[in-house]
């Protein structure tokens, strides 16, 4: 009798996803927030956390692993000062 065991659905938290993506880097590496957000969204398209929350998790995790962080996730329009 062949009985296929169903694998339980894995419900990863945002922290789990960030940890998984950051595990590809080593201490001393510099990570880009834009690249990290892209990798997180690709690895779990259902992740509904905001970019700001994910960046917070990225920073906490990366700094704890002695990695540098480049904050390049904002669009150029968001980075320009409002002149009007």
Tokens of 3: 């009985």
pLDDT in tens, 38-81: 999 999 999 999 999 999 999 999 999 999 999 998 866 655 55
Residue 24 in contact with residue 58, Cβ under 8 Å? no
In a domain, 54, yes or no: yes
Residue 7 placed within a domain: no
Which carries the bigger pLDDT value, residue 4 or residue 34?
34
Give the whole-angstrom CA distance, residue 60 versus residue 68.
11
Residue 35 resides in a domain: yes
Q: What range does the domain containing 51 cover?
A: 14-74
pLDDT over 80 at 22, yes or no: yes
pLDDT at 2 over 80: no
Asked if residue 84 is part of any domain, the answer here is no
DSSP state of 27: T
Residue 9 lies inside a defined structural domain of this protein: no
Q: Is residue 33 part of a domain?
A: yes
The verdict on residue 80 lying in a domain is: no
Long-range contacts of 37-42 (CB under 8 A, 24+ apart): 37/73, 40/14
Q: Is residue 20 part of a domain?
A: yes
| Cα distance between residue 35 and residue 13, in whole Å | 19
pLDDT of 27 reads 95
How high is the pLDDT of residue 6? 53
Q: Which two tokens stand for residue 69?
A: 């962080």
Quote the number of domains for the chain. 1
Q: Look at residue 9 in the predicted model and tell me its pLDDT.
A: 46
């Amino acid at each position: 009798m062949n009985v296929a065991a169903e694998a339980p659905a894995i419900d990863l938290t945002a922290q789990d996803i960030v940890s998984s993506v950051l595990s590809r880097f080593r201490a001393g590496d510099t990570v880009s927030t834009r690249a990290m957000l892209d990798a997180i969204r690709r690895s779990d398209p259902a992740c509904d956390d905001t970019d700001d929350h994910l960046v917070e998790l990225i920073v906490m995790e990366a700094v704890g692993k002695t990695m540098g962080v480049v904050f390049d996730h904002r669009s150029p329009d968001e980075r320009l000062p409002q002149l009007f």
